[in-house]
Amino acid sequence: MADHHFDGIKIRNLYKIFGSNAATHVEAVRKGLSKTELNEKFGHVLGLKDINIEMPSGCIQVIMGLSGSGKSTLIRHINRLIDPTAGEVLVNGVDVVKMNELELREFRRHQTAMVFQKFALLPHRNVLDNTLYGLEVQGVERAKAVDVAMRWIERVGLKGFEGKYPNQLSGGMQQRVGLARALANDAPVLLMDEAYSALDPLIRTDMQTVLLDLQKEIRKTIVFITHDLDEALRLGDQIAILRDGEVIQQGTSQDIVLRPADDYVANFVKEVNRGRVVHVEAVMAPARPGFSPDAITIPAGTTIEDAMRVIAKGPDGDVAVVGPSGKPIGTVNLRQLAGAMVNSHGAPSYDGGSLARAL
């Protein structure tokens, strides 16, 4: 199980410039030299500009952006496959940037595990031997490694396939092996770089469900890279949207959908099915004085879509939304919820306006 004292990941003032004299240009970029100018004047490429993200322990942090936005460059800084030009990458309170070679090797072996888009399985090893590969590298004795690996093979739904080789498996099954291998290491940080992007849509949704179900139990600090907004909204406890190496917006799926920071984000979210993302608190009315809840209540945090299913079964009228203590914190009815769904493709407001307008 993950270490409960794990302090999460903090990225501070991170810059990455690709080129032979990168460090000499950081100050100019800080002062506003653009990506285009840096390239045209100095022949250097701006990868990341002043990234500041705090990723809490035990949460899924999604980094989202289009191709070339810097998201894969960013995730490779966490296990220092790429060295930053400036900045700090604190993992459990320790700056990865300052580690020497030995410390870095130990850190990569024990603190992080990675799941790749292209599966990266070893073709000459069967499912079992692929899964226990990291434990073998760590020097864990064979019997114990097999025991751990078999447990994870079962958890990801591959029991009975441990003797098969990668070329005998579908893409979705290969990705399950990749996940089992990463989890077998028991590292507190799981790095997933476009892990599901190569999969067919149905298998992809399936793998998202596998990850969400596992996460309830394992509580890893997961950094998940994607270019797909629906995937980001479904998986992310927190989402950071990158464009041209800069963070445009950070927040929960609610923040991103209801309060997009600019036109760029607004364009991303306008096609989103809000019913699956927005929670009832965003549309509820305050409970009237003397309102007594029916037998049917809706817990705070329920999506509009799920709330509609519940309300549709009950009598007409207002239904109480209840907080963690079970006390009503507001009311919703079918008309409010339907209105939020119907208006979901209207132009969102990102002027910090009311939730009602945003919906």
pLDDT at residue 289, rounded to an integer? 78
Q: Where in the chain is the domain with CATH 3.40.50.300?
A: 9-269
- pLDDT confidence of residue 301: 86
The pLDDT assigned to 242 comes to 94
Higher pLDDT pick, 314 / 77: 77
Higher pLDDT, 276 or 58: 58
Assess whether pLDDT exceeds 60 at residue 328: yes
Residue 353: per-residue pLDDT: 35
Residue 304: pLDDT over 60: yes
Q: Is the dihedral of CA 171, 176, 178, 179 positive or negative?
A: positive
One-letter amino acid of 335 = R
Distance between CA atoms of 355 and 359, rounded to whole angstroms?
6
pLDDT at 357 over 50: no
pLDDT at site 351: 38
CA dihedral over 268, 270, 272, 278, signed as positive or negative: positive
pLDDT, position 211: 92
In the chain, CATH 3.90.1280.20 covers 274-358
For the CA atoms of 18, 24, 26, 28, what is the dihedral angle to 10 degrees? -120
The model's confidence at residue 313, banded by pLDDT at 50, 70 and 90, is: confident
pLDDT in tens, 150-191: 999 999 999 999 999 999 998 889 989 999 999 998 889 999
Does 216 have pLDDT greater than 50? yes
Q: Name the 3-class secondary structure at 190.
A: strand
The whole-number pLDDT of residue 343 equals: 58
Superfamily of structural domain 9-269: P-loop containing nucleotide triphosphate hydrolases (3.40.50.300)
What percentage of the chain has pLDDT greater than the value 90? 50
Give the pLDDT confidence of 50-86 residue by residue, as tens digits: 999 999 999 999 999 888 889 999 999 999 999 999 9
Q: What is the pLDDT of residue 358?
A: 37
CATH number for the region 274-358 comes to: 3.90.1280.20
In this predicted structure, the answer to whether residue 355 has a pLDDT above a threshold of 50 is no
- Residue 117 exposed, middle or buried by CB count within 10 Å (0-12, 13-18, 19+): middle
pTM of the model: 0.85
pLDDT tier, 118 (very low <50, low <70, confident <90, very high otherwise)? confident
